[in-house]
C-alpha cells in the first residue's frame, strides 16, 4: 500500500512544523510529515526523488516578493512537473494561512477583549492585506493601512510581514504564533478547560 508524505521546508520543533503536524493529524492522520530543514534542501530532495510508488505533497512558502524564493520555486516546479506522484501546494506561508482564516479575530479575542482596541491598527492591516491578496492585488505595500502598520514595509517581504502581523495579533494570548512557537490554543480545545 502506498504512503502519503508531506514534505516541508521548516525544521522540526518550529511553529510551522508543529502547525502542519497537528493539522494533518486531524485531517489525514496516516500522512507522514517530514522536515527538509530549509527550502534549498526541500528542492534538492524533490530533485533526487526516485520513488514512484508513494505520493508526496510539497509545502514550499511562496513568498512572491522574495527573489531567492522565486528562483528556488521555479526550480522546484520544474522537478514537480517531471513526476506524477508529487504535488506542490500553492501557499504564501503558514502564517498567511492563519491570517486568512475568516474567524481569526473572533477566535483569538473575546467579544469585549481590550486587545480589540489596542490592536485595531494590526487588525485593520490584516484585513486590508488579506483583501488585497484575495483580489490578486499584489501591491500590498501601497495600501495605506498596511503602510501605517509597518513603517519598514519596504524592507519586508510578504512572509516576513505575515509573520510579524500574526505575532502582533496573537501575542499574549493562548494563540501566540512566532517562528519558534505555536500557541497551545491552536492544538487544544479551550472549551474543555475548566477555567
Residues 169 and 110 in one domain: yes
Residues 118 and 185 in one domain: yes
What is the four-CA torsion angle of 138, 142, 147, 152, rounded to 10 degrees? Answer: 80
Residues 55 and 23 in one domain: yes
Q: Of 36, 71, 88, at which residue does a domain stop?
A: 88
Residues 66 and 131 in one domain: no
Q: Of 57, 88, 119, at which residue does a domain stop?
A: 88
Residues 123 and 38 in one domain: no
DSSP secondary structure string for all residues of 128-182 = HHHHHHHTT---GGG-HHHHHH-TTGGG--HHHHHHHHHHHHHTTSTT-B-SS-B
State mean pLDDT over 168-188: 91
Residue with cell 486587545: 115
Nearest to 131 by CA among 85, 100, 162: 100
Provide the CA 2 distance to its chain's centre, in angstroms: 27
Nearest to 130 by CA among 92, 185, 180: 92
Residues 73 and 102 in one domain: no
In this predicted model, what pLDDT tens digit does every residue of 37-91 receive, in sequence order?
A: 999 999 999 999 999 999 999 999 998 999 999 999 999 999 999 999 999 998 9
Residues 184 and 101 in one domain: yes
In this predicted model, what pLDDT tens digit does every residue of 106-163 receive, in sequence order?
A: 989 988 999 999 999 999 999 999 999 999 988 999 999 999 999 999 999 999 999 9
Residues 62 and 150 in one domain: no
Task: Give the global pTM.
Answer: 0.89
pLDDT of residue 190: 62
Residues 163 and 123 in one domain: yes
* Count of domains for the chain: 2
Radius of gyration of the chain (CA): 18
> Residue 74 belongs to what domain range?
4-88
Residues 98 and 79 in one domain: no
Residues 171 and 117 in one domain: yes
Residue 135 contacts residue 141 (beta carbons within 8 Å): no
Q: Of 37, 68, 88, at which residue does a domain stop?
A: 88
> Helix (H, G, I), strand (E, B), or coil: what is residue 126?
helix
Residues 84 and 98 in one domain: no
Task: Write the DSSP symbol of residue 11.
Answer: P
Residue 130 contacts residue 136 (beta carbons within 8 Å): no
Amino acid at each position: 500500500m502506498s504512503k502519503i508524505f508531506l514534505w516541508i521546508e521548516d525544521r522540526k520543533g518550529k511553529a510551522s512544523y508543529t502547525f502542519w503536524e497537528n493539522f494533518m493529524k486531524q485531517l489525514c492522520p496516516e500522512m507522514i510529515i517530514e522536515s527538509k530543514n530549509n527550502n534549498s534542501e526541500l528542492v534538492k530532495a524533490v530533485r533526487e526523488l526516485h520513488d514512484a510508488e508513494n505520493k508526496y505533497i510539497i509545502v514550499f512558502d511562496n513568498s512572491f516578493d522574495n527573489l531567492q524564493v522565486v528562483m528556488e520555486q521555479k526550480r522546484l516546479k520544474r522537478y514537480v512537473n517531471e513526476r506524477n506522484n508529487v504535488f506542490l501546494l500553492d501557499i504564501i506561508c503558514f502564517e498567511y494561512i492563519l491570517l486568512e482564516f475568516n474567524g481569526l479575530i473572533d477566535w483569538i479575542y473575546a467579544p469585549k477583549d481590550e486587545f480589540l482596541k489596542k490592536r485595531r491598527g494590526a487588525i485593520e492591516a490584516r484585513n486590508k492585506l488579506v483583501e488585497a491578496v484575495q483580489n490578486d492585488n499584489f501591491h500590498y505595500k501601497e495600501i495605506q493601512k498596511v503602510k501605517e502598520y509597518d513603517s519598514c514595509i519596504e524592507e519586508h517581504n510578504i512572509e516576513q510581514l505575515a509573520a510579524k502581523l500574526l505575532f502582533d495579533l496573537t501575542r499574549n494570548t493562548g494563540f501566540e504564533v512566532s517562528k519558534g512557537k505555536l500557541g497551545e490554543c491552536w492544538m487544544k480545545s479551550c472549551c474543555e478547560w475548566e477555567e
